[in-house]
Structure 1
């Protein structure tokens, strides 16, 4: 009889219990990356590459860190990524000084002196030095603040458009074959040529004027050298797959340090 009671209780207990409770799912949304307050200069870094990495202008970093042209930085140097905090200056009150009494002295007796006739001055013509000639500059390449005249940096198919919500590289991707030419999208000066920025592979950055930069990533070979002036459409690199899994050109345009949609500036094709 007892075993029947125990059997009945075993059948009733599961029915009285509540259903299974799922474990709470945490929020897996990606948080925006915070920009650190400083950057420690590593091997291959330049002030232009540091500014490009954090979305700043080289002029801002130079002003915040007291760096003058040609913007030379050193390995291990700490670069401030935000303007320094201004400290309040304490004004000292200066007590007015009491005027000192003047001591009057007795006048000296007048002395007689013989007056000599003045001789006429002979003026000689001064030899004027010729003005030093100013060094020639590459005018027309980096001038003004407006957008320069743009052209497409590669002739391949557009495979990825600009996405302002992306947390990674912000630009467009152009497909192509390994070794295909990569050309300067506008005239300017190559301010960075190397592979020191993670995720960009072999990268070239060109400064066009005070406001605009352009970047060319994942190259197989860099043709243009750092410090070289290039013309619009000039060969600067060969397309490749460095730091990516397919042959492509990643192209960016930066305005005042911030990425903008290149399709707003490139001609329609």
Structure 2
């Protein structure tokens, strides 16, 4: 009885050791990893959808054509108008811009009147009086019949609107900066509050200070020209207002400038800057 009692625990212990030895000697196989990203889907890779082609910008079909301009980084409608001899309101109308502050780089804008029409300022321009004789006189023949007789008639100038412009100096101060390759206008010295006058009759195309280098600026559109008046202190006119030659439009200031002075420019309808001195009376 005694020997049997001691043998059974030893048998149980030996069995346990055998099981432990079997567990440690057999390599452990890892559980399979389940890929849930393809569960319920075909194993065939799907094609990536092609990206949509970007929509062309407004007016892109007119890029490079005469009378059109491609918007560059930093442009504003006012700047584009000044550089092309037009008012920003005209540009907005020609290009159907509901918000003139929203233009995109690469967008192509019409910068000349549609159909080649000549935009007028709404002001009747006085033609230059002819210094020669009238174009025709009337004589009588022996029968008393009146017949027109042509004499040295003056031929009309093809550029009548431009010829009719008779600009005056917009300020009586001293000329301190001349027109050159780097300066698109002239500068006239003065003191704060000096009157700034419209150099010719026209329609106010812009009043504001959104263009760097001009301060408080006024643009006036004439028949064939655009005049610019910069660095003002106070405005005396508003946009779309008709003004007459010699009318006070502002007071001289030093906005965006190092002294009290007037920055004056004349542009043609293509935006080309002209030397104002050649179009102003000598003094």
Please indicate, yes or no, whether the TM-score normalized by the shorter chain is above 0.5. Answer: yes
- Give the alignment of 1:45-56 within 5 angstroms: 47-52=77-82, 55-56=83-84
Question: In structure 2, do the counterparts of structure 1 residues 230 and 63 end up closer, same or farther at CA, with 3 Å as the change threshold?
Answer: closer
Computed over aligned residues only, the root mean square deviation of the Cα atoms, in angstroms, reads: 3.5
- From 167, 170, 175, give the equivalent of 1:158: 175
Q: Offset at 1:58?
A: 3.4
Q: Offset at 1:51?
A: 1.8
Match of 2:162 in 1: 146
Match of 2:279 in 1: 265
Q: CA–CA distance in 1 between the matches of 2:87 and 2:233?
A: 30
Q: CA–CA distance in 2 between the matches of 1:65 and 1:78?
A: 17
1:182 and 1:236 in contact (8 A); partners too: yes
What is the TM-score when the length of structure 2 is the normalising length?
0.53
Q: CA–CA distance in 2 between the matches of 1:199 and 1:214?
A: 16
Question: In structure 2, do the counterparts of structure 1 residues 260 and 156 end up closer, same or farther at CA, with 3 Å as the change threshold?
Answer: same
Unmatched tracts of structure 1, length 5 or more = 1-35, 84-136
Match of 1:67 in 2: 95
1:202 and 1:217 in contact (8 A); partners too: yes
SS in 1 for 2:211: coil
Q: Which runs of 4+ in 1 moved over 2 A?
A: 39-42, 47-50, 57-66, 71-83, 141-145
Match of 1:58 in 2: 86
Residue by residue over 1:202-252, the C-alpha shift from the partner in whole angstroms, topping out at 9 and shown as x without a partner, is 00000011x200000000111111111000000000001000110000100
- From 169, 190, 200, give the equivalent of 1:186: 200
SS in 2 for 1:146: helix
Residue by residue over 1:28-85, the C-alpha shift from the partner in whole angstroms, topping out at 9 and shown as x without a partner, is xxxxxxxx9415798xx5x454321xx22439997899525xx7643223374577xx
Unmatched tracts of structure 2, length 5 or more = 1-68, 111-120, 128-159
Between Structure 1 and Structure 2, the one with more helix by share is: 2
